[in-house]
Structure 1
Amino acid sequence: MIKICQDKPFEYGYNAITVMGEKEHDTMMDFGILRLKKDQKEVFFSENKERAFLMIKGEVALEWNGCKRIIKRESCFDYNPWVLHVPKCTEVKITGISDDSEINITSTTNDRNFNARLYSPDECASEERGKGTLNECSTRIVRTVFDYSNADYSNLVLGEVIDFPGKWSSYPPHHHPQPEIYFYKFYPENGYGFSQLGDRVEQVKNNYTIKILDDVSHPQVTAPGYAMYYIWVIRHIDKNPYKSPQYPIFESEHLWVNDKNAKIWPEK
């Protein structure tokens, strides 16, 4: 596990967090945060990489392939995301409308051509997992924007998780050989949580990033009083995509917690 700390606000412009092809701990993805102020314009183009632009907060104008849309998201905790997903050789222009906007940009190589798509909040698959088991200790909201089931042409899987205060997610512990990135936000922003990879545990805070490598399990928990949000993005491996039912692989010793009749204490 590699933790990347960001203890101050991001600078305006694009802030790279990970870069594809790093000599150590390579996730096979470019991953960063674009921060825009009002009327600031940024243009993105790649000859060989697909890109996903996930709106975290704010209001911006998007332009691509002759299309223009204004998108707005007041809170990543309360609303599903807008995501623009484009293939290689597609120019994307982004202009800030609100005083402060943040967009996550993930890129990876992909030789396949596909139609660019703007996913609306209504198209995001949102589900409440863990509900009704073990006093709701792992109840959370899981949002999946696209995966192998609806975008098998992509080399990425992209989604979000909302953790309620004091509760677990990515649980029961699971693992998969495909590299993954978690990027965190907390409400209130001075909150914190813990990320476990195998036997190692790291504290995570607002704007921190975790690289998940080496096929280790990775459950998460947030502190009481603080809601935790994180973006999760997985990079498919050639000839071994992240798809159901092969992945994720759950640790069998902990699967009993999914039983709605599971009890911590024996009945008297």
Structure 2
Amino acid sequence: MSTEFHIRAGEAADGPYELDIDPGRAGWGHASLRVLALPPGGSHAFATGDSEWIVLPLNGGCSVAVQGGGTYELAGRKDVFSGVTDFAYVPRDAEARVSSAAGGRFALTGARCTRRLPARYGAASDVPVELRGTGNCSRQVNNFGAAGVFECDKLIAVEVLTPGGNWSSYPPHKHDECRPGEESELEEIYYFEIASAHGSEGLGYQRVTPSGNGRGTDVLAEVRSGDAVLIPDGWHGPSVAAPGHDMYYLNVMAGPGEERAWLICDHPEHGWIRDTWPGQAVDPRLPLYDAPAGDTR
């Protein structure tokens, strides 16, 4: 199994970015992810280039100023396990500045694109919170940047919260070839944060197996907070949360298709598990939280 697809915390740090993955670093064509750390009173300017971006607070709040596109005040959140957050969309070919009075950490999810859409604010109250699966496959999905929810040109991004002891990204699935109406071709980045408990650091596991397409991605990784896994192709799942430690991951996806869609194919040996879900209850620990009512600004 290759280790090139598992990026441990700190291995892709660059200046103010705790994590900086662009298409060149990943060896693909479209998806990017940066995690920006700002001290109290800190700010950081960046050019969007040929990519569209969503600025998503992981912890803390910030303002996002887009040259010619306005300034957006993001209330943010205490951490990824405490609530849905608001966010800001920044178009390609723009200059932006992220500033934070109290400091914090902010994910910049990006995708190379062709259309230049307007800069916009995304309210936390508009984020659909979905409970997916049942039993020990129960998980929560915050669909802030999902296709059909928030308009982007190429970028698809969601958050997944898996209670300790549960499996998510299960059954294993893939989206590495274009089959109209059946499967999208999408690169994907998983970024992890794991809840600590009783003074111990949390951990989880991520599996990716070759599908016969692309680079033959094969990963079995023990993941901890700040780690990322690159998935250019292959069957991905499960994502396993250790008992007692809730798992968060941010999914960033983009691909070459004209249609912005998340169409997946289940692994033929494991897709049957979906048929068992109607007979089980959703994990009572979910949702960990709901989207707030009303605009948070």
- TM-score, with normalisation over the residues of structure 2? 0.77
**Displacement of 1:32 after TM fit?**
1.4
Counterpart residue number, 2:77: 73
1:191·1:226 contact (CA, 8 Å) conserved in 2? yes
**Displacement of 1:249 after TM fit?**
0.9
**Displacement of 1:151 after TM fit?**
4.5
2:112 to 102, 109, 113: 109
Residue 196, structure 1, aligned to residue 196, structure 2: no
Q: Quick one: which amino acid aligns to residue 65 of structure 2? A: E
Matched position secondary structure for 1:77: coil
Matched position secondary structure for 2:23: coil
In structure 2, how many angstroms separate the alpha carbons of the residues matched to 1:81 and 1:70?
8
Q: Quick one: which amino acid aligns to residue 181 of structure 1? A: I
* Offset from partner CA, 1:45-90 (integer Å, 9 cap, x none): 2242211111100122222223342423112112112221121123
Counterpart residue number, 2:95: 91
Q: Tell which has more relative contact order, 1 or 2 (C-alpha 8 A, sep 6+).
A: 2
In structure 2, how many angstroms separate the alpha carbons of the residues matched to 1:261 and 1:72?
37
In structure 1, how many angstroms separate the alpha carbons of the residues matched to 2:259 and 2:230?
19
Q: Quick one: which amino acid aligns to residue 217 of structure 1? A: H
In structure 2, how many angstroms separate the alpha carbons of the residues matched to 1:192 and 1:7?
16
Counterpart residue number, 2:261: 242
* Offset from partner CA, 1:162-197 (integer Å, 9 cap, x none): 110010001111111111000000111710010010
Q: Quick one: which amino acid aligns to residue 89 of structure 2? A: H
1:37–1:200 CA distance, 2 compared to 1 (3 A):
closer
Counterpart residue number, 2:50: 48
Q: Quick one: which amino acid aligns to residue 224 of structure 1? A: P
**Displacement of 1:41 after TM fit?**
1.4
Counterpart residue number, 1:226: 245
In structure 2, how many angstroms separate the alpha carbons of the residues matched to 1:166 and 1:20?
33
Q: Quick one: which amino acid aligns to residue 255 of structure 2? A: H
In structure 1, how many angstroms separate the alpha carbons of the residues matched to 2:145 and 2:123?
12
**Displacement of 1:216 after TM fit?**
2.5
2:161·2:248 contact (CA, 8 Å) conserved in 1? yes
Residue 216, structure 1, aligned to residue 215, structure 2: no
1:193·1:228 contact (CA, 8 Å) conserved in 2? yes
Counterpart residue number, 1:39: 41
Counterpart residue number, 2:289: none
1:49·1:107 contact (CA, 8 Å) conserved in 2? yes
Q: Quick one: which amino acid aligns to residue 185 of structure 1? A: E
Matched position secondary structure for 1:17: strand
**Displacement of 1:108 after TM fit?**
2.5
1:182 to 190, 200, 207: 190
1:94–1:137 CA distance, 2 compared to 1 (3 A):
same
1:141–1:152 CA distance, 2 compared to 1 (3 A):
same
Q: Quick one: which amino acid aligns to residue 235 of structure 1? A: A
In structure 2, how many angstroms separate the alpha carbons of the residues matched to 1:27 and 1:76?
28
In structure 1, how many angstroms separate the alpha carbons of the residues matched to 2:188 and 2:52?
17
In structure 2, how many angstroms separate the alpha carbons of the residues matched to 1:210 and 1:27?
16
Q: Quick one: which amino acid aligns to residue 52 of structure 1? A: I
Matched position secondary structure for 1:190: coil
What is the RMSD of the two structures over their aligned residues, measured on CA atoms?
2.3
Q: Between the two proteins, what is the percent identity of the paired residues?
A: 23
Q: Quick one: which amino acid aligns to residue 119 of structure 1? A: G
1:115–1:57 CA distance, 2 compared to 1 (3 A):
same
Q: Quick one: which amino acid aligns to residue 107 of structure 2? A: N
1:254 to 270, 278, 283: 270
1:12·1:37 contact (CA, 8 Å) conserved in 2? no
Q: Report how many residues are paired.
A: 252
Counterpart residue number, 1:161: 160
1:236·1:242 contact (CA, 8 Å) conserved in 2? no
- Extract unaligned runs of 5+ from structure 2: 177-185, 210-217, 281-297
Residue 119, structure 1, aligned to residue 122, structure 2: yes
1:52–1:165 CA distance, 2 compared to 1 (3 A):
same
2:41·2:100 contact (CA, 8 Å) conserved in 1? yes
Matched position secondary structure for 2:221: strand
